[in-house]
Structure 1
Amino acid sequence: MAAISAATEGQAPIGKNRAHRSLPKGTVGSVRASLGGIQEIDTALILPWGPQDRLVLTAVNTEDDDALDLALSIEKNGQQVPVLLRPAGHHDGKFEVVYGRRRILACQQLGIPVKALIRTLDDGEALIAKGLENASRQDLSFYERARFAQAILEQGHLREQALQALSISKNTLSQLERVARLVPDAVGEAIGPAHGAGRPKWMALAAAYEGGALSEAEALRILRSLPKESSSDVRLQAILNNLDKRGPKDTRPTLRAPIDGASVKSTKTSVTLTIKRAGRGKEFADWFDENIDRLITESYRSFENGSEVEDG
């Protein structure tokens, strides 16, 4: 209910798409939305919407024990928590899921209607409601959050919206983006959510790809060699263990130049920044020298604030 309230009460609209905020009077969607309360909806009338937040729904290595348990629980005790839907803008009589996909799938498997709340929400409001509902459960893994953030941005939402939907800092969003960008989707999906693995392990995997220490084909080969029943945490750790066994090839320093005149050298034991005092770069080097203590302190504080939640 907190997610619904935040999306519908006192929130300024986010984004330009307001197509779902109001519907023509007399349409099935407008009538059902105006009824309020919890309603029973045929799962065949529900369409997908928005960025994917759960890797388990599409992963190659699906861990469906929780989904099976949910279906069994609903069969035995009934559906205790409603899902949130919004009327489909271009398909009168159908609805789009804002959150509760697993509950919908469970009800679909059981052949029963799903209990739902129906609200008219635009894309921005729906995204915030989806993010708040996820935050209240706190059961998305770090990698699922990375893919969720990636999907939000790829669908044209602003970074500010992603920050709100995930309730994270700018630093954490950058870390999530880095993992989603560097770890191939096929590898991430083959590993699975890895709920027991936090930020450090996924960042280590991303760094291995960035440094050329690992290829998509090699990672998939390692995963194929594991027993099929291996959990996603075991699968991720197997790849990291393989990296730890590597020889000197994997410990060679990497060099990158974020701007002209500045270079970053990264090794297994240290990170070194060099700024040349030459030409126009001298002014920047002098300024950086005067401000480096403050910049490091602020960066470290941002790192701590961004990693407290992720490291669990």
Structure 2
Amino acid sequence: MANKDLIKRAFSVTANLPATPAVDAVAGQPLPLSDAPAVPTEIAELAAQAVAPTAAVAPTRLSLGTPKTSPGSMMAFMTEQSEVHREVVRLREQVNAFDGADVARRLDPSQIVASKWANRDESHFSTEVFARLKQEIASAGGNVQPIKVRALDSPRAEGARWEIVFGHRRHRACLELGIPVLALIQRDMPDADLFVEMERENREREDLSAWEQGVMYMRALEHGLFPSAKQLAAAIDRDMGNISKAMALAKLPADVVRAFGSPLNLQFRWATALKDAHQRDPEALLAAAREIAAASPMPSPAAVFSTLTANANKSGRSATSPVEWKDEQGKRLALLTFDRKGRATVSFEHALDEGQQRKLTKVVDSFLGRKT
């Protein structure tokens, strides 16, 4: 009876385990009986004592022909755990692939406000191009290409929680259609980063006018995002010449811009001539611009440009070209300009000291033939 109790105790560990054959952990195939894993020494010794208590314990390894063994079951369990581990690693790699990615979700457009760096002129939302965009979004049930927003530091009084980084037209279309707008969400974004992303996204779409770009650049400099136009150009990787032309258009008087019907009609290649016309005779330029704006029908933008930059004034007398004085490096020292009535203006790039002022006075005295 005692021997039977010992046998029961020896094999009680494996009595209720599932019938799973031993498996080669590398090949994944069942092991032959001769290669079955060894029974732990303690169990082998206990079984031997139960059968022959007075004999020396000779065997320390038992080859069990049944799958119901503790080592075999443990091997199967470890194999299963290895598969689970590999699956966990695979899923973790998939999750890590999205680490740092922006979250996209549909937002209420009424909770989104335009960026303070917004560069879209209001007239852009009444163009045929915007109408087609709005129709495409309506037919698709929403914007397919998401906009991007950043979280506001605190909700606005009107309930706004997000500020647009880029995608003002898509947001406006969804707002007018009364449907949610698909948006990428970034919680934290400095103003300079927002400006760079907005400028590059608009440039890739190639639908931002020269005047709108100029307004955007001027606004960035006025708010101190960049210490100079040169550093702004480096930050957004744009040619300094294009930035200068865009800002020259944005600095034109409102009456001049209005003469073109819409600021969207102004072109980069017109910037230098319009700037020179404004410097040469601002009064004449404004008068011509107001006359054009009141005309019906209004002439084409190209015709407006030709009229505003013509060298002839109303009396038919040609205006004299400006005269410049420059130093050895090509920097302007002084400029002499004439208006349409022949009146001259001399401007110096640097302040004159007392000695230079006296010399200039003598030159004018000599020119006029009389002293001050």
> Does the TM-score normalized on the shorter chain lie above 0.5?
yes
Query: Distance in 1 between the 2:293 and 2:231 partners?
Result: 35
Within the candidate set 50, 54, 73, 2:120 is matched to: 54
1:182-206 deviation per Cα after TM superposition (whole angstroms, max 9, x unaligned): x1134325632445x5322232222
1:221 is matched with 291
1:147 pairs with 2:215: yes
Task: Find the aligned partners of 2:212 and 2:257 in 1 and give their Cα distance.
Answer: 9
2:148 maps to what in 1? 84
| 3-state secondary structure, aligned to 1:115 | strand
Alignment check: 8 A CA contact 2:274 2:308 kept: no
The equivalent of 1:176 in structure 2 is: 246
SS at match of 2:103: coil
Once the two structures are TM-superposed, the CA of residue 235 in structure 1 deviates from its matched residue by 3.3
Distance in 2 (CA, whole Å) between partners of 1:258 and 1:90 is: 53
Q: Which runs of 5+ in 2 are unaligned?
A: 1-99, 339-355, 357-372
Number of positions where the alignment pairs a residue of Structure 1 with one of Structure 2: 227
Contact 1:205 1:240 in 2 (8 A): no
Instruction: Give yes or no for contact 2:150–2:189 (8 Å, CA) kept in 1.
Output: yes
**Counterpart residue number, 1:253:** 321
Structure 2 letter corresponding to 1:251: A
Question: Residue 348 of structure 2 aligns with which residue?
Answer: none
Query: Which residue of structure 2 lines up, in the alignment, with residue 241 of structure 1?
Result: 307
Shift of 1:162: 2.9
Give me the whole-angstrom Cα distance separating, in 1, the residues matched to 2:176 and 2:278. Answer: 39
- Contact kept? 1:163, 1:173, Cα under 8 Å: yes
The AA in structure 1 aligned to 2:119 is D
User: Partner of 2:108 in structure 1?
Assistant: 42
Matches within 5 A, 1:61-140: 63-77=126-140, 78-91=142-155, 94-119=161-186, 120-140=188-208
What's the CA shift for 1:225? 0.7
- The code of the aligned residue for 1:99 comes to F
- Between the aligned partners of 1:208 and 1:243, the Cα distance in structure 2 is 6
- TM-score, normalised to structure 1, is 0.62
Cα pair distance change 1:112/1:250, threshold 3 Å: farther
Offset of residue 252 of structure 1: 1.1
Alpha-carbon offset, residue 81 of structure 1: 1.0
Structure 1 unaligned regions, length at least 5:
1-33, 268-280, 282-312
Of structures 1 and 2, the one scoring higher in RCO (CA 8 A, sep 6+) is 1
Q: Deviations over 1:158-192 (max 9, x none)?
A: 135632565322333233333322x1134325632
Q: Counterparts in 2 of 1:164-203, with a 5 A limit? A: 164=234, 166-181=236-251, 183-188=252-257, 191=260, 192-194=262-264, 198-203=267-272
* % identity of equivalent residues: 22
Q: 1:237 to 1:148 in 2, by over 3 A?
A: farther
The equivalent of 1:208 in structure 2 is 277
* One-letter amino acid of the structure 2 residue matched with residue 237 of structure 1: A
CA distance in 1, matches of 2:126, 2:272: 22
Between the aligned partners of 2:308 and 2:248, the Cα distance in structure 1 is: 22
Change (3 A) 1:189 1:53: farther
Q: In structure 2, what is the Cα distance between the partners aligned to 1:113 and 1:241?
A: 47
Structure 2: distance between partners of 1:200 and 1:249: 27
Residues 190/47 of structure 1: CA separation in 2 closer, same or farther (3 Å cut) = farther
For residues 51 and 190 of structure 1, what CA distance do their matches in structure 2 show? 25
Query: Deviation per CA, 1:219-258, whole angstroms, max 9, x where unpaired?
Result: 1330221437x7xxx2353242354383454531224567
Structure 1 runs, 4 residues or longer, greater than 6 Å off: 258-261
